[in-house]
Structure 1
Amino acid sequence: MGMISRVRGRIRSDSFSKIPTMKSEDKIANIVWLLSLVLLLPYWAPRGLLVALGGAWLMAAYTCLVLPVLISANYRYPARWYPSVVHFAHITALRLRRPAACALAALKTVYAPLERTEKFFLQMNNLSTMLSQLLIFTACDRLMVSRGKLTSLYSLMFYNVITYSVSYVREICTKEDWSPYVNVTRHSRVKHLAMSATKIVLEWTKAVTFVVTITFILLTLGLEQGMAHYRPNILYTAITGIYYLLSERTFLELGPIAVAGLKLERLEGMESMYFGVWARGITTALAVPLVPALAWYERWRLAVLVTYLCVFVHGRHRLGEALDKLNTARGSLVKFRRATAEELSMLEDVCAVCLGNMSSARVTPCAHFFHADCLRRCLTTSDRCPICVRPYVFY
């Protein structure tokens, strides 16, 4: 019996003690990993299992509920092989960096002529804007309108009529010279007969065209003649209307005026730059979800065109250009601190550049106060203070 007990103890101490036991955290990590695989299976189902069962809303709700839980659980209980995989991926990326850099340089060289073509295309602002609007309207037509496949063309025509009406009314409201005559020179009172006649005919032509256009549109909408293929819904009207308003030049010029009326001090007089970034960002964001939707319904050519023109070209060039302008303007003011409310209340002065009241201001190193936009405009021509003409020295 004593021999058997010694042999049993030796086996326990030498053999079973060398078998690594799995810790509880490792068990939880493996369980979390397996559950993650199970919960991600619906995304790999053909044609979308959740979309087929409950539509896109079920897929969105499932994603919002499940993915944050999976990410947090795997972060709290990471499996042992996670760091190894991350380290291996890092080493592989370092080894592939040089060939990838060479391939990227080759792609840039090949893409350079196409990039010049894109910039030339965007310089034709009216044409590029109209094509992007037509693509977005057509994509919304194919996705959101079951009947009436000419809804996109009707909508674009109606929006253009509205734009023409707004621009004509704006021209009338901002017009300063109401005289129908044209003088020979600026300071002369002698009337130029031919130019005066041309101006009168042109103004009357604009007025008659405006009245006829509005009358025709009202009759068309009232009598509903020829509107059999025009069947917009609320979602279609909202998306196309927002895209058109934020891409058309007339409303891009009126937008900063409306934002300036809100008197947001944080914008510091740079409403046009901020509005440009907002408009380009929203139009690009509206075009992005249309691409997978078109691919889902196998509208491949339209999906490629929307991706390239409305997302890539307009997002890369126009949104990038607007962001560069805004960042440059903000960067020029970074060194100048904002004036506090106490300083402005004690100052009781106006901006020396525009002679306007200062509800917000920037302070120069020489203790002079200016509107941020006025100071930015001065910095484009000189690096000296507009009042004391001293160079700016920052400590």
Structure 2
Amino acid sequence: MGMISRVRGRIRSDSFSKIHTMKSEDKIANIVWLLSLVLLLPYWAPRGLLVALGGAWLMAAYTCLVVPVLISANYHYPARWYPAVARLAQEVARRLRAPGACLLGVVKTVYAPLERAERLFLQMNNLSTMISQLLVFTACDRLFVSQGRLTCLYSLMFYNVITYSVNYVRELCTKEDWSPYVNVTRHSRVKHLAMSATKIVLEWTKAVTFIVTITFILLTLGLEQGLEHFRPTALYTAITGTYYLLTERTFLELWPMALSAMKLERLEGMEALYCGVWARGVTTALAIPLVPALAWYERWRLSVLILYVCVFMHGRHRLGEALVKMNEACDSLAKFRRATPEELSTLEDVCAVCLGSMKSARVTPCAHFFHADCLRRCLATSDRCPICVRPYVFC
């Protein structure tokens, strides 16, 4: 009886239960790891098992449901060899750091001429923008239009016609001199006959071209079903239209104006900088999913071109430059605190730089209030207060 009691006591003891729990957790971790391998097998199936069964939508749904569950399960039940693998990877990275830095320097030296060519290509803004638009449109044509050929060219032509119309309407709205004549000098009333004739011909040419353009748009909309190879889908139109509106220079100049009309005080007059970052970020994000999709359908050349031109070049240079400008603007204002609503209500003053009312402002160390954008522009030329001309001293 005493032996039986001692055995029962050991079974009920905490030490034995801890060993048993540890072993059970290891078993659960190994089971979770094996199940993860099994559930990830469809991604390695030839020609895509899920895509063959239900298309890309089934693949996306399977990814959204299964991958988060696998990550969570492996996080809660990590196998014992996970930390060992992590430590081994860190050790290998540490040992390869010096050769890697040397190799990186060689790569940068070799890549330098190509980088200069990239910057020269991006300086030709119209050409680089048109090529990136054509690449994205062609990718959407291959992925979302089943039987349509040259849909990308028709769409790009149609968008360019709309852009020309918007430019002409904008020119009419902002035009101040409606006189058909050109004076010899600014303050003279003598008409310059040759220049006046040239201006009249030019204005009539613009008007006729605009009328022809509007007629072309109406014919295109009316004969859309009659175009043999023009078969855009809703997804194709949404992606290409968004990409075009966020890359074309005409609309890039209009978005800050529209955002300024909303009078969002949190932007502090930096609508142009925010629009530049948002536009280039969205266009890069639109181009990234096209790369694996094209590779899935074995469109390797187009996939590499979009990865290099639309993702790498535009993301690295244009998005990077926009981010640098916005960060510089935010960093220059970071030392100046925001004025509270109580301070602005008791101040009842205008900005000394632009003479505009202040619904939001920044306060200098010398207790002067300015619009954030006005203060940022002053900081670009001087580090002294525009009112008292004292250098800024921060405690």
TM-score by length of 2: 0.92
Q: Which runs of 5+ in 1 are unaligned?
A: 1-16
1:75-105 deviation line (CA, Å, top 9, x unaligned): 2222221111111110000001111111111
- In the alignment, the residues of structure 2 paired with residue 48 and residue 199 of structure 1 have an alpha-carbon distance, to the nearest angstrom, of 63
1:160 is aligned to 160
Shift of 1:26: 2.0
Retained in 1: the 8 A contact 2:141–2:236? yes
- In the alignment, the residues of structure 2 paired with residue 263 and residue 118 of structure 1 have an alpha-carbon distance, to the nearest angstrom, of 37
- In the alignment, the residues of structure 1 paired with residue 391 and residue 90 of structure 2 have an alpha-carbon distance, to the nearest angstrom, of 49
Greater Cα offset, 211-220 or 165-174: 211-220
1:305 is aligned to 305
1:284-308 deviation line (CA, Å, top 9, x unaligned): 1111111111111111111111111
2:179 is aligned to 179
Shift of 1:65: 2.1
- In the alignment, the residues of structure 2 paired with residue 178 and residue 372 of structure 1 have an alpha-carbon distance, to the nearest angstrom, of 37
- In the alignment, the residues of structure 2 paired with residue 69 and residue 223 of structure 1 have an alpha-carbon distance, to the nearest angstrom, of 50
- In the alignment, the residues of structure 2 paired with residue 106 and residue 79 of structure 1 have an alpha-carbon distance, to the nearest angstrom, of 39
Shift of 1:335: 0.4
SS in 2 for 1:184: coil
2:248 is aligned to 248
1:49-82 deviation line (CA, Å, top 9, x unaligned): 2222222222222222222222222222222211
Residue pairs, 1:63-82, within 5 angstroms: 63-82=63-82
SS in 1 for 2:231: coil
2:349 is aligned to 349
- In the alignment, the residues of structure 2 paired with residue 213 and residue 366 of structure 1 have an alpha-carbon distance, to the nearest angstrom, of 57
1:141 is aligned to 141
Q: Would the alpha carbon gap of residues 111 and 200 (structure 1) be closer, same or farther in structure 2, given more than 3 Å must change?
A: same
Is 1:91 aligned to residue 91 of structure 2?
A: yes
2:58 is aligned to 58
2:236 is aligned to 236
Shift of 1:224: 5.1
Residue pairs, 1:327-342, within 5 angstroms: 327-342=327-342
- In the alignment, the residues of structure 1 paired with residue 134 and residue 357 of structure 2 have an alpha-carbon distance, to the nearest angstrom, of 45
- In the alignment, the residues of structure 2 paired with residue 254 and residue 90 of structure 1 have an alpha-carbon distance, to the nearest angstrom, of 49
- In the alignment, the residues of structure 2 paired with residue 353 and residue 370 of structure 1 have an alpha-carbon distance, to the nearest angstrom, of 7
Greater Cα offset, 243-252 or 54-63: 54-63
1:48 is aligned to 48
Shift of 1:225: 8.7
Q: Would the alpha carbon gap of residues 297 and 262 (structure 1) be closer, same or farther in structure 2, given more than 3 Å must change?
A: same
Shift of 1:223: 4.3
Retained in 1: the 8 A contact 2:269–2:373? yes
Aligned residue identity for 2:145: V
- In the alignment, the residues of structure 1 paired with residue 290 and residue 331 of structure 2 have an alpha-carbon distance, to the nearest angstrom, of 35
Greater Cα offset, 38-47 or 275-284: 38-47
Retained in 1: the 8 A contact 2:224–2:230? no
- In the alignment, the residues of structure 2 paired with residue 213 and residue 77 of structure 1 have an alpha-carbon distance, to the nearest angstrom, of 65
- In the alignment, the residues of structure 1 paired with residue 176 and residue 151 of structure 2 have an alpha-carbon distance, to the nearest angstrom, of 40
- In the alignment, the residues of structure 2 paired with residue 239 and residue 127 of structure 1 have an alpha-carbon distance, to the nearest angstrom, of 21
1:34-53 deviation line (CA, Å, top 9, x unaligned): 22222222222222222222
Retained in 1: the 8 A contact 2:145–2:232? yes
- In the alignment, the residues of structure 2 paired with residue 49 and residue 208 of structure 1 have an alpha-carbon distance, to the nearest angstrom, of 57
TM-score by length of 1: 0.92
SS in 2 for 1:239: helix
Alignment: residue pair count: 377
RMSD after superposition: 1.6
Q: Which runs of 5+ in 2 are unaligned?
A: 1-15
SS in 2 for 1:333: helix
2:368 is aligned to 368
- In the alignment, the residues of structure 2 paired with residue 239 and residue 157 of structure 1 have an alpha-carbon distance, to the nearest angstrom, of 16
Retained in 1: the 8 A contact 2:245–2:252? yes
Instruction: Give the percent of matched residue pairs that are identical in Structure 1 and Structure 2.
Output: 82
Greater Cα offset, 309-318 or 68-77: 68-77
Greater Cα offset, 191-200 or 34-43: 34-43
SS in 2 for 1:104: helix
Shift of 1:265: 1.4
Is 1:113 aligned to residue 128 of structure 2?
A: no
2:290 is aligned to 290
- In the alignment, the residues of structure 2 paired with residue 68 and residue 223 of structure 1 have an alpha-carbon distance, to the nearest angstrom, of 48
Retained in 1: the 8 A contact 2:358–2:371? yes
Is 1:326 aligned to residue 347 of structure 2?
A: no
